[in-house]
């Protein structure tokens, strides 16, 4: 759960926020992108590999691991569980923690051994049985979808009523990122539309002063690079990703020996102390190892797109999740757009 910035390229941006909205947050009476999606094969495959975790006692009995008997009272003096231990779930209101007694063991039982497919698919996907000849009630009992069964009780159809391309929960409003050229206007859309002439969240490409935005970012980058260079002097350092390879640890593990060695380097310590990075955290200081002009160019190049978690163009998702074009490709797309193209920067809940 969080908030993401989205860039919509093209007309009618509010319609695009509907197209990529998750069904559970959408109004089925207003959102035209609801569709019937056949999920029978996908559901059968999931059912066949699905398991349920139980705690098994010494006599072979199975118990729900969330039963009251597995909640143990803890005090503020108790040690936090280590990553390899179970449990890590805490009931904050009663100061209790789930645990596995020493005479129990965790077991995973295949779902197909405990629940028939019809009951499972209805519960898992929120579907309801649709009788022969019955029309689905898409606003009430079949809002999530439906299944049909034959005379033998076998599921012969499973339909999910959903928005197939849904990736976010709902549109929150525009973000006024775009600096407008003198004499032009754009829109700021929150609870209502407002015409603006300084910074806008929605404007034509021709009205946005991209070069001014890049120049401003370039000036900030130059100041930061100079500050970092002054802080470290002639000191050099080993990049964090190289140390992760050395210790065979994953990136962004800030409790690893790689991170300890990285932070202990005099050059890194000096730049941290001088707060050379806007974030001043993680391994972002490594970019100061670039030549000054490359560092400035990098920040000029990314100023337009670094805000965005998703980019939609002409009704298609072109950046986000598993779709990751390069920064150069995104900037080229922007460069090639006709001047009259509408651009909208917005915040979505996701």
Question: Distance between CA atoms of 140 and 133, rounded to whole angstroms?
Answer: 18
Q: What pLDDT sits at residue 2?
A: 80
Give domain status of residue 274, yes or no.
Answer: yes
Work out the number of other CB atoms within 10 angstroms of the CB of residue 141.
13
Prediction pTM value: 0.82
Question: Distance between CA atoms of 102 and 93, rounded to whole angstroms?
Answer: 26
- Say if CB 174 and CB 203 are below 8 A apart: no
Provide the CB-side half-sphere exposure for 74 (13 A, CA). 21
Work out the number of other CB atoms within 10 angstroms of the CB of residue 276.
22
- Which of 168, 130, 128, 131 lies closest to 144 in space, CA to CA? 128
Give domain status of residue 10, yes or no.
Answer: no
- Say if CB 229 and CB 288 are below 8 A apart: yes
Work out the number of other CB atoms within 10 angstroms of the CB of residue 240.
22
Mean pLDDT for 197-216 is: 97
Give domain status of residue 210, yes or no.
Answer: yes
Give domain status of residue 281, yes or no.
Answer: yes
Give domain status of residue 52, yes or no.
Answer: no
- Which of 300, 313, 299, 306 lies closest to 210 in space, CA to CA? 300
Of 76 and 40, which is predicted with more confidence?
Answer: 40
Q: What is the pLDDT of residues 54-90, one digit of tens each?
A: 999 999 999 999 898 988 777 666 655 544 444 445 5
Q: What is the pLDDT of residues 288-307, one digit of tens each?
A: 999 999 999 999 999 999 88
Give domain status of residue 7, yes or no.
Answer: no
Q: What is the pLDDT of residues 266-282, one digit of tens each?
A: 999 999 999 887 665 56
Q: Say how many domains are in the chain.
A: 1
Give domain status of residue 175, yes or no.
Answer: yes
Q: What pLDDT sits at residue 4?
A: 92
Q: Which domain holds residue 258?
A: 171-349
In the chain, how long is the greatest CA-to-CA distance?
A: 81
Give domain status of residue 255, yes or no.
Answer: yes
- Say if CB 339 and CB 205 are below 8 A apart: yes
């Amino acid at each position: 759960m969080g908030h993401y910035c989205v860039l919509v390229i093209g007309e009618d941006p509010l319609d695009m926020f509907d197209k990529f909205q998750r069904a559970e947050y959408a109004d089925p009476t207003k959102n035209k992108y609801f569709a019937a999606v056949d999920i029978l094969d996908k559901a059968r495959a999931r059912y066949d590999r699905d398991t349920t975790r139980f705690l098994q006692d010494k006599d072979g009995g199975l118990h729900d691991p969330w039963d009251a008997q597995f909640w143990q009272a803890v005090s503020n003096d108790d040690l936090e569980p280590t990553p390899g231990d179970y449990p890590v779930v805490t009931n904050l209101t009663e100061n209790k923690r789930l645990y596995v007694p020493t005479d129990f063991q965790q077991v995973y039982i295949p779902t197909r051994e405990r629940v028939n497919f019809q009951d499972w698919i209805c519960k898992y996907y929120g579907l309801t049985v649709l009788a022969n000849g019955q029309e689905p009630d898409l606003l009430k009992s079949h809002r999530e979808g439906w299944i049909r069964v034959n005379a033998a009780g076998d599921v012969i159809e499973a339909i999910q009523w959903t928005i197939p391309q849904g990736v976010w929960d709902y549109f929150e409003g525009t973000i006024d990122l775009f600096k407008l050229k003198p004499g032009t206007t754009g829109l700021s859309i929150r609870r209502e539309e407002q015409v603006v002439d300084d910074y806008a969240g929605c404007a034509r490409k021709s009205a946005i002063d991209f070069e001014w935005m890049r120049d401003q970012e370039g000036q900030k980058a130059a100041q930061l690079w100079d500050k970092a260079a002054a802080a470290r002097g002639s000191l050099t350092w080993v990049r964090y990703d190289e140390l992760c390879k050395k210790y065979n640890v994953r990136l962004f593990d800030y409790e690893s020996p790689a991170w300890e060695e990285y932070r202990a380097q005099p050059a890194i310590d000096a730049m941290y102390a001088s707060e050379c990075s806007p974030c001043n955290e993680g391994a972002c200081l490594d970019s100061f190892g670039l030549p000054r002009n490359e560092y400035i160019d990098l920040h000029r190049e990314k100023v337009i797109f670094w805000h965005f978690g998703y980019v939609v163009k002409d009704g298609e998702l072109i950046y986000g999740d598993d779709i990751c074009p390069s920064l150069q490709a995104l900037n080229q797309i922007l460069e090639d757009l006709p001047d009259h193209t509408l651009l909208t920067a917005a915040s979505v809940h996701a």
